[in-house]
Each structure stands twice: as structure tokens, then as C-alpha cells.
Chains A and B, each alone.
Chain A
Amino acid sequence: MAQRDSKIYGSRAMKKSILLYRRLLIANWNALIEYRGDFITQIISSLVFSLNHIIIVLLLTSKVPSVYGWSRGELILLASTYNVFIGIFHTFISRNLDQIADDIYFGKLDYVLLKPIDSQLATVIWKINYISLIRVLFGLTLTVYLMGTLHIIITVPMIVVYFFVIITGVYMLYSFWLPFITLMIFNPRLSNIVIFLFNITNVARYPKEMYARLPLYIFVPLLPLALILTTPTKVLLQKFTFELGFLFFAVCIVLGLFARFIWKLSLRHYTSASS
């Protein structure tokens, strides 16, 4: 009986969560289309930004057959994967973390913490930036085209692993950002932390081999960023090795646990005094 009740309760809770998330999706969509001019300029900006990096890679590799062991086609594939990856990250994660930074600054994090859900989960569910899905679509289209030109056959397991690694990478980047954002709990004046993170994330645009010459004390902190794109691209290129997979998932787990630990630790120091 108790088991049946818990099943019914679990299913109701799940339904409630889905309904709530659906409402959030609709609310975010309505907020987006409220200002039409803004909506259109955002679409154009997103497209221009997607193209910009591809053009730069095309240009830089126009006179060299390969860079850091990556051929021109492979580097463009990396750039298109960057669009898929960063599109997903900006759609679901970055705006929420930006909002959390604002909430900490203005002492409004209490509203998030009082919600009946896990506090860390509550850092990422409120805002959905639909415009960034354009980058995902653009990246996916280009990726499929490039796979054809590179004569690589797309298989279902490849697609599954690719998206699994991309999603894991998004979680890795989220875990990289969160401890930095929580620094604001200790120093609310760090108002440029989000811009800092946006810029640091650019490291991910290039293969990890590019940073091999960096001193170890710079390379190690940047390693998660250097891995998040190199790994899914190597899945597509069928160069995904056990060692790379192990390193990728090990870094992801360590970073995830670290972010969780820092978040919990920081909350103990949160005073909402900034307001």
C-alpha cells in the first residue's frame, strides 16, 4: 500500500514538475517575442557570431594543410561542434548563472533557495535563451555537411555518444563556471565575473594540443575547457580513445563534485547582506 502511494506521489510530483517546466518554457518564449525588434537583432547577432568563428578558422588555415595535427576539415568540424556545444550551454545554462550572479549581488538569492527543489538545480532552470538554439541548428547542419565532405559515415551509436559527450561537456562547463560565480557570495563586488567566464570559455574553441606548450600551472586549470570540445569532435572523427574518454569523464566527475562542494560551502556563508 505504502509502495503504491509512493508511486502515485512520485508520478504526481513528476507531472507537476513537467507542467511547471512547460510553463517556464512558455513564459521564456513570451518574454523573447515581446520586443520584436530585439528578437530580430538577436537572431542576426546569433547567426553572425556563429559564422564569425568558422570564417576565422577558414581564413587561418587557408595556407597550412594542418595545425597541431588537425587537418583543415577537422578544425572546421571542431568549430561547428563549438557552435552546437556553446548553443546548448547558452540556451540552458549561461543566462541562469548570470542571473544567479545578479541575485547574489542584490541579495536576492533567498528567493531561489526557498524553492522546494535542490538549490544547485535551482541555479539553472529558470531562464531559457531560445535564440542560442540557432547556433545549435547552424552547428548541426554544418557538422552533417562536413561529415559528408570528410567521407565519414554517420551511425546511430556515433550520434548517441556524440550527444552524450556534448551534454557531459555542458555539465563540465557548468561545473567550471559555478565555483567562480559562488565567489560572489564572498565578494559581491565581483560584478565582471560572468564576462570573465565568457572570455575564458573561448579557450574551448581550439584543440587541446594547442595549449601543450603552456606551463603546467596554466594548462591544468584550463584542461577542462580544452577537453570539452576536443572530445566530442574526436568521437565524430572516430579518433575517440579509451585514454581520452577516461580523462574526459574523470575530469567531469572531479569538477562536478568540486562544484557541488563549493556551492554547499558557499551557501553557508550567504547572508543576503548585499541588498
Chain B
Amino acid sequence: MHTYLQIIKGTIEEYTTYRVSFILWRVRLVVQLLVVYFMWWAILAGHQELFGYTQGAMLTYVLFSSFVRPFVMGTRTQEVGELIRSGNLSNYLVRPMRFLGFCASRDIADKLLNVIFAVSEIIVLYVLLRPQLFIQTSAVVILLSFVALVMGMVLFFYFSLLISYLGFWTPDVWAPRFLSFVFAEFFTGALFPLDILSAPLYLVSQSLPFYYFIYFPLKVYLGQLSSMAMLQGFLIGIVWTAGLWALERIAWSRGLRAYTAEGK
């Protein structure tokens, strides 16, 4: 445990060493959020309700998605593909720790920093923009939202790792990662709530893991899901998590057999 705590500490120190890079990263995220926020603000202008959302609910969705997104999708696992390709993975395999634990620790550090800064940025933006926000008061719903958030985080972790593991079999991990993220960007609900999609497309999105990254935790928080829909969502999410976990284990063991460390 001490080892992994040290990895978390080391990763945080790594971020704080490159302070200007870190600030640029945060500015980038705030600008991204502002673009989506103003896009929705302009679309909703003059409408009491659109796509089944009031202005308050939609702007809450947009602002809170900027918190959920880094919490769920903030990761360092994209580095794994490069570690495999360059052969540097060998340096980690000989260390007295589990590689999965190493990746998880790096991700925890990433998410910790992300969340701290995301919360402060949202507070500043709230003070500046004064949007109507929907604040959930039910403790049960807040707890369920948190569980959904953790589920999304675990799902994304395995999803991202699996894409990086492609590096065991192909030198080009960039293109599949890029493609999967274009799809993910569309189907996570980061830009818009997925229920504004046409019914068949929405049904397809529900069966994909992306649905559980951002959209599902936010819908739970907004209290817009019936108990049945929530139960169904958690069940499908758990099945996906178990499936991706199993796939990750298989890919890792088969990948290690294919790994030749030829980069070094």
C-alpha cells in the first residue's frame, strides 16, 4: 500500500513541477467548458424548455459534466501504449509491484488534482456567470450519483487500458485511441445529454460503455431517471465493468506473451 501511496505522491509532484503546463491544461479545460456552456446558453435562449430540459437543468448538466468528465476520464493510462511500444514496460515489470496497481495509482493522483481544480473552477464560473443551477437535496440520490461516478471511473480505466494494450500487437496505438475517443466524445454525453438523440440511437448508446462515463451519473444526480431505469443502468454498468475487467486480464496475460521489448 505504501508503494502505491508513494506513486500517487510522486505523480502529484510531477504535475506540480511543470506548473505552467498544468495551468495551461486547466485553462484549456475552462475554455472548453465555456464553449459548451455558451453554446447551450445560446440554444436555450428564449425557450422555457428544450429537449425536455429546463435552462437550469441543462446548464447544471453542462457545468457538472465539466466536473464529472475529468473525474471519470482523467487518466494516465494512455502512456501504457507508448511504454509497450518503446519497450520501457520492462522497467516496470521487474519492479516489486503490480503494474495494474501502478496505473491505478497514477490515475488516482490525476483525478485528485483534477477534482480539486475542477471544483474551484466551477465555483469561480458560478460566481461569474450566475447560472440557474439545480441542486440535488436528496442524500440517497447524491449517494447513488457517487456510486455511478465510481462505476464510470472504473469502466473508463479498463476501457482506456485495453486500448493501450493494443500496443502489444501493433505499433500504432494512436489511431484506435483517437477513433475510440471521437466515438466516446459523442456517446459519453459530454457535449449534450444523450436523451436528445433519436430513440434508436439513444437505445444504441445505452448499450455502450460510454453511456456510463458521464451521462448516467449526471442523470442520476438530476433525478431524471425512474427507479427502474436507474436499476437497469446500474446492472448494465456492472456487467460492462465485469466484462472489461475480464477482457483486461486476458489481454494483459496474452499481451505479455506477445511482448518482446524490442523497442529497447
Contacts and interface: CB of A to CB of B under 8 A. Distances in A.
Interface of A: 35, 37-38, 41-42, 44-45, 48-49, 52, 55-56, 59-64, 67-68, 187, 189-193, 195-196, 199-200, 202-203, 205-206, 209-211, 213-215, 218
B24 A196 contact: yes
Interface residues of B, number: 35
Contacts of A189: 18, 20-21
B172 A37 contact: yes
B47 A64 contact: yes
Of listed A35, A68, A215, residue having the most chain B CB within 10 A: A68
A206 B191 CA distance: 14
8 contacts: A45-B178, A59-B197, A64-B43, A67-B42, A190-B24, A193-B24, A213-B38, A213-B41
A48 to B, nearest CB: 5
Given A37-B170, A56-B186, A60-B43, A195 B179 contact: no
A192 B175 contact: no
Interface of B: 18, 20-21, 24-25, 27-28, 31-32, 34-35, 38-39, 41-43, 47, 50-51, 128, 170-172, 175-176, 178-179, 182-183, 185-186, 191-192, 196-197
Contacts of A45: 175, 178-179, 182
Given A41-B179, A44-B179, A210-B39, A192 B172 contact: no
Contacts of B42: 67-68, 209-210
A218 B171 CA distance: 41
Contacts of B32: 199, 202
Contacts of B186: 52, 55-56
A139 to B, nearest CB: 17
B35 A195 contact: no
Contacts of A205: 35
Contacts of B178: 45
B185 A190 contact: no
A218 to B, nearest CB: 8
